[in-house]
Amino acid sequence: MAARIADEGSGGGTHTLGLLYPPAGRNRDYTTMQLAFVGGVAEAAAAHGYDLLLSPGDRRDDPSFLRMIRDRRVDGVIVMEIRREDDRVERLAAEGFPFVAIGRNHHTGSSGWVDLDFAGLAGACVQHLADLGHTRIAFVNRSEQLFHSGYGFARLGDEGYTEGMKKLLLTPRAYLCGDDLASGEQVVERILLDDPMTSSLVTLNEAALEGVYRGLTRHGRSVPRDFSVVGVAASPWAEQVTPALTAAEIPAKEMTRVAVDLMLRRLRSPDSPPRHVLLKPLITLRASTGRCRPAPGSEPETDFPDFPDFGMNV
């Protein structure tokens, strides 16, 4: 079968790629991030002369997924948003159907994948804050449900954070947080209740970010003067909030481009070992992190006067 596909790959085949992505979420809306991935894949495929067949299926028995595989309507499949246990991936792997995963789990080893190094990024965020002098660093993860349902990055992020903190001999404090504004506010409440001296946090939860800001403001912590926030977020999101979030990019374009590259490579030479690409973008400096300043009243006053009044006579 593999040989046949190779022939097709060189001789023409369907010249169509399939993209599997989960159906729309709660509000029957796709997130900007998801759309960016879909667009990125379509663009990269088109650049190589391939069409794209879309299938919003998140289970192995999804009819559109089945049609795509059974009828061989596509040369290969790119799978998005894979869970730790993902029967779509299992089925593809079992059938030996050429696929590339955006994200990874223990089944993707036989195939090619591209993923963000969430553990590394969380570690880098911790490192960045530590470089700025912060020692009390909290971690705001995604929702409990997501954490347990097995989206890999939530766990990976948690691991990376904990490891980073331990390496620096700091006490990790990780919190799960719902993907909404109110949860963001609540998590800040909890963090500051647990340790009022907390001066910074790392977040993977961009959906709760505005709530986090709001909670900090409510507690009289202004970002980045009194409190630093660093995260992993797609750039439009990070730039839209005020102050703009210092964050590691989720490079949707880059990831989709790599995914399509891996796919094509696989189609051209099916026997070559699968390639795995783990991206670890740098933390883009924006406006939400600053040097650690002791919380007011927590330490004896230094000789330095308080921040100068930026006296605009308006």
Give 24 or 278: the residue with its C-beta nearer to other proteins: 278
Q: Is residue 304 a contact point for other proteins (CB under 8 A)? A: no
Taking the least distance from each CB to other proteins, the nearer of 264 and 292 is: 292
Cβ nearer to other proteins, comparing 297 with 310: 310
- Sole window of 21-29, 176-184, 258-266, 282-290 interacting with other proteins (rule: CB under 8 A): 282-290
Let me know the angle formed at the C-alpha of 281 by 280 and 284, rounded to the nearest 5 degrees: 150
Q: Which is nearer to other proteins, 90 or 131 (CB)?
A: 131
d(CA 67, CA 53): 11
- List the one residue out of 250, 85, 233, 208 whose CA is nearest residue 152: 85
Q: Is 280 in the site for other proteins (CB under 8 A)?
A: yes
Q: Does 281 bind other proteins (CB under 8 A)?
A: yes
Q: Which is nearer to other proteins, 124 or 176 (CB)?
A: 124
Judged by CB under 8 A, the stretch of 49-57, 66-74, 261-269, 276-284 that binds other proteins is: 276-284
Residue closer to other proteins, measured from CB, 66 or 132: 132
Binding mask 116-145 for other proteins (x = CB under 8 A): --------x--xx-xxx-------------
Is residue 311 a contact residue for other proteins (CB under 8 A)?
Answer: yes
Could you tell me which stretch among 41-49, 106-114, 152-160, 304-312 binds other proteins (CB under 8 A)?
304-312
Per CB under 8 A, the segment of 21-29, 46-54, 202-210, 284-292 that binds other proteins is 284-292
Cis before 243? omega within 30: yes
Contacts to other proteins from residues 211-270, by CB under 8 A: 235, 239, 244, 246, 251, 254
From the centroid of its chain, how far is CA 150? 14
Q: Which of 11, 49, 305, 312 binds other proteins (CB under 8 A)?
A: 312
Cβ–Cβ contacts within 10 Å for residue 172, how many? 16
Candidates 2, 94, 182, 285: give the one binding other proteins (CB under 8 A).
285
| Residue 90 token pair | 């299992």
Residue 86: CB atoms within 10 Å: 24
Cβ closer to other proteins: 131 or 144? Answer: 131
DSSP secondary structure letters along 242-259: SSPPEEEE--HHHHHHHH
Answer for the pair 208, 234: CB distance below 8 angstroms, yes or no: no
Residues 148-177 that bind other proteins (CB under 8 A): none
- As to burial, measured by CB atoms within 10 angstroms (0-12 exposed, 13-18 middle, 19+ buried), residue 259 is buried
127 vs 217, beta carbon nearer other proteins: 127
Enumerate the β-bridge partners of residue 201.
138, 229
* 61 vs 131 by CB, closer to other proteins: 131
Q: Report the SS3 class of residue 66.
A: helix
The verdict on 87 binding other proteins (CB under 8 A) reads: no
Binding residue count for other proteins, defined by CB under 8 A: 27
Give the residue, chosen from 101, 156, 252, 283, that forms a contact with other proteins under the rule CB under 8 A: 283
**DSSP-derived pairing of the beta strands 76-79 and 51-55:** unpaired
CB-count exposure of residue 21 (10 Å: 0-12, 13-18, 19+):
buried
Side-chain-facing half-sphere of 204: CA atoms under 13 Å: 32
Residue of 210, 220, 227, 216 whose CA lies nearest to 289: 227
Where on the chain is the footprint of other proteins (CB under 8 A)? 124, 127-128, 130-132, 235, 239, 244, 246, 251, 254, 280-286, 289, 291, 308, 310-314
